[in-house]
Amino acid sequence: MKRQELLNRLIGEVSNFLLEENPLRLVISLHQEQDGAHLSFMDDRMRSDEELDRIRTALNPKHIRPELADYYGALAGHDTSWEARLKLIGWQIKGATVANNDSGTQIDLWLGGDSFRPEDFTVGQRCEGRS
C-alpha cells in the first residue's frame, strides 16, 4: 500500500471516530520524514481515564501483522464497532499515544519501518507502542 493511501485511511478512520462525539474543534497534524510519519489528532473533548485506556489498548495491539496492512485497511471501512476499527488501525501503525491535554484529547499515531525511531522526530513525543 502506498504511504498516501495509508495516511488517507488513517486520517479518515480516526477523524470519523472523533467526529462521533461532535467536537467543536478538531485539528489534524501530519509530519512526514523519509523513514516514517507522525499523525496527531486533537479535539476539544476530555475523556475519562477508562475511555483513554480503551482507545490506547485498541491502538497498541500486542501482535502486529504489517504484511497484512492492505487487508486490515480494506476492513476498516466496514460497519464494525469503533473498538474493532481502532484495532485495525493499530495493526497498521508502529504505535500510538493517547492522552487528555489542556483542551481535549490528543491521539498520536506513529508509522515507520523497523529502523524508524519516533523519538528522533521534532515533535518531542515518545511512542508507547512497539519497538
Q: Does position 25 have pLDDT exceeding 80, yes or no?
A: yes
**Cell numbers that stand for 11 in this block:** 486520517
Helix (H) or strand (E) run with residue 106 in it:
strand 105-112
Do the domain assignments include residue 129?
no
Do the domain assignments include residue 28?
yes
The mean pLDDT of 21-41, rounded to a whole number, is 91
Residue of 78, 89, 112, 122 lying closest to 18 (CA atoms): 89
Residue of 92, 19, 85 lying closest to 58 (CA atoms): 85
Do the domain assignments include residue 38?
yes
Do the domain assignments include residue 126?
no
pLDDT attached to residue 45: 96
Q: For residue 109, give the DSSP letter.
A: E
Percent of the chain with pLDDT over 70: 69
**Cell numbers that stand for 47 in this block:** 475523556
Do the domain assignments include residue 42?
yes
The mean pLDDT of 54-71, rounded to a whole number, is 71
Q: Does position 7 have pLDDT exceeding 70, yes or no?
A: yes
pLDDT attached to residue 84: 74
CATH at residue 62: 3.30.565.10
Do the domain assignments include residue 119?
no
Cα 7 to Cα 11: distance, rounded to the nearest angstrom: 6
Spacing of C-alpha 59 from chain mean position: 6
Write out pLDDT tens, residues 33-49.
887 889 999 999 999 99
**Cell numbers that stand for 111 in this block:** 508509522
Do the domain assignments include residue 12?
yes
Do the domain assignments include residue 128?
no
Q: Count the domains in the chain.
A: 1
* Domain around 101: 3-114
The mean pLDDT of 96-106, rounded to a whole number, is 94
The mean pLDDT of 101-125, rounded to a whole number, is 75
